[in-house]
Amino acid sequence: MSNKSSSSDGASNIDTSGERAAKVGELLGMREFWSGQILHAGVKLGVFELLSDAPLAADAVADELGLEPAYCYRLLRALASLEVLETHDDRRFALSAVGELLQADHPDSLRDDVLFWRSPEYLRSALHLPAIISEGGTSGFAREFGCTIFEYAEQNRAFGAVFNGSQATPSQWMTPLVLGAFDAYEFGRVSHLCDVGGGHGHTLCHLLAEHAHLEGTVVHLPNVIDTEPDHWAGRLGVTDWCQYVVGDMFQTVPRADAYLLKFILHDWPDSECIEVLSTVREAAPKHCRVFVIERLVPEDGRSLAVTRADIEMMAVNDARERTEAAYQSLAEQAGWEFVQTRTQQDETLSVIELRMADA
């Protein structure tokens, strides 16, 4: 019989098993899980809005927000430990510079991210992962709520606002990558660019701002189109060249010279991807180009970021991340032909260009 201290490789074996345990602990992310829960409680209870003007004592925060004072103090203390609040000598609490980002009206607010990624809807979907892998098929979201997350966002507008806000955040750092991928693209051939499921229009409006001759259309579901203050056209001064149109990409999209499908196809199983690509093909003129913007699974499957995102897509949407070859195959089944892929920043983002197969 062997145990840790008597095994032939002795102390190094103890270290190895300790390191293995630490690795599992790290992967389980319990510290991050509870940090997230603490942030979520602070955001949900309105702490960051209340502290926007001046520091307050814990009792005053409890009083204003209707919280149990001793518990409120413990929450504020934990938020200060996470450095989203600062503690003053007299036990008053104030927002830190990071904490300001959790206020709803901050221009770079991450409040919706905290609310969505810790929402019961998202967490409950994730719990179905083992069943999904055993049985295949239906997503965790559909198992819990009987519809897709997009239908749910349409029916539950408060959830929809938070969901859409969280989906918009990555554009802050991804749009420069998209612009970089298009650096060498000859936009002279394009007059009208349509961003299908383009959200608040961060990507499209930045392209319109860079290419003065371009006009653009964002096609999206009503819960996004209805939220005009969030639209980027106004913020970037391109309202005269950018339309926001309610539409369903499974039904019809406007005619345009080129289409963006950015982080759209990874949300859907193959059959729905073919439907979307076919809808675009029906509307498109022969000279049209489609740009599928996604993060690609490398052929050898070695990418933690993408394989992890793939499982998230499986759990929430019964969808998947794909290799370049898989996207090419879907495109071909919908009547498109591969032109080229432009990849940015160590494969963080790829733009696959398609043209009509029989043009």
Ligand X SMILES: C[S@@+](CC[C@H](N)C(=O)[O-])C[C@H]1O[C@@H](n2cnc3c(N)ncnc32)[C@H](O)[C@@H]1O
Q: Provide the binding-site residues for ligand X, judged by CB under 6 A.
A: 150, 167-168, 171, 197-199, 220-221, 224, 248-250, 262-264, 267
**Angstrom distance (rounded) from CA 293 to CA 306:** 14
Please say whether the beta carbons of 192 and 216 come within 8 A: yes
Measured between alpha carbons, how far is residue 203 from residues 117, 199, 210, 290, 291 in Å? 23, 9, 11, 15, 12
Closer of 215 and 267 to ligand X (Cβ) = 267
DSSP string, 166-225: HHHTTHHHHHHHHHHHTTT--GGG-SEEEEET-TT-HHHHHHHHH-TT-EEEEEE-HHHH
And the tokens for 159? 């959830």
Q: What are phi and psi of 341, to 5 degrees?
A: -120, 130
**Angstrom distance (rounded) from CA 9 to CA 169:** 49
Residue 152 beta carbon to ligand X: minimum distance, rounded to whole angstroms: 11
Closer of 262 and 342 to ligand X (Cβ) = 262
Closer of 166 and 328 to ligand X (Cβ) = 166
Residue 201 beta carbon to ligand X: minimum distance, rounded to whole angstroms: 9
Among all residues, whose Cβ is closest to ligand X? 197
Residue 344 beta carbon to ligand X: minimum distance, rounded to whole angstroms: 14
Closer of 85 and 354 to ligand X (Cβ) = 354
Closer of 171 and 350 to ligand X (Cβ) = 171
**Angstrom distance (rounded) from CA 331 to CA 276:** 10
Residue 2 beta carbon to ligand X: minimum distance, rounded to whole angstroms: 50
Residue 199 beta carbon to ligand X: minimum distance, rounded to whole angstroms: 4
